[in-house]
Amino acid sequence: GVIKEADLHSFNLPIYTPSKEEVEGIVRSEGSFNLEKLERFLIPWDANDGNSNATTAEIVANFTRAFTEPIMAAQFGSSIMDEMYERFGHKLGELQSSTDAPPFSNMVISLCKK
C-alpha cells in the first residue's frame, strides 16, 4: 500500500553482475587499459565494517541505496525512500539468517591506461 501497483508493475531495474572472467575478457578485448588487478570477494553475511554496530544487511542496503535511490525516487517518489530502504534492509536481515543465504559478492578492479 505504500506505492501504486501500476508503478510497481511498470518498473524494471535490469542489473547484471558479470563474472570475473567476463570482466577480464571485456577489458582485454576493448584494449585501452592494462588490467593490473581483478579480485572477486565473497563476503559472509555475518561480516561488518568493524567501525559500527551495523549488520551486513544494513551495510548492503545502504550500498544498494547509494546507486539505486535516484532511479527509485524518480519512479516511486522521494517521500518513501527511507521506509523502502529500511524494509529492504529488514528483508536482507531475514535472508542473512537463512541457512540458504548466498554470500554477498564484491569485485575490485585496478586498471592502468595504456
If one counts the domains in the chain, the total is 1
Mean pLDDT of 85-90: 91
Question: Is the pLDDT assigned to residue 47 strictly greater than 70?
Answer: no
Output the pTM of the full model.
0.68
Share of the chain above pLDDT 70, in %: 90
Residues spanned by the domain of 38: 5-113
pLDDT (0 to 100) of residue 55: 76
* More confident of the two residues 103 and 87: 87
Question: Is the pLDDT assigned to residue 91 strictly greater than 80?
Answer: yes
* More confident of the two residues 112 and 98: 112
DSSP E strands, 1-114: 33-43, 104-113
Question: Is the pLDDT assigned to residue 94 strictly greater than 90?
Answer: no
Share of the chain above pLDDT 90, in %: 47
Q: How far is CA 13 from CA 5, 8, 53, 67, 68, in A?
A: 16, 11, 30, 12, 9
* More confident of the two residues 103 and 114: 114
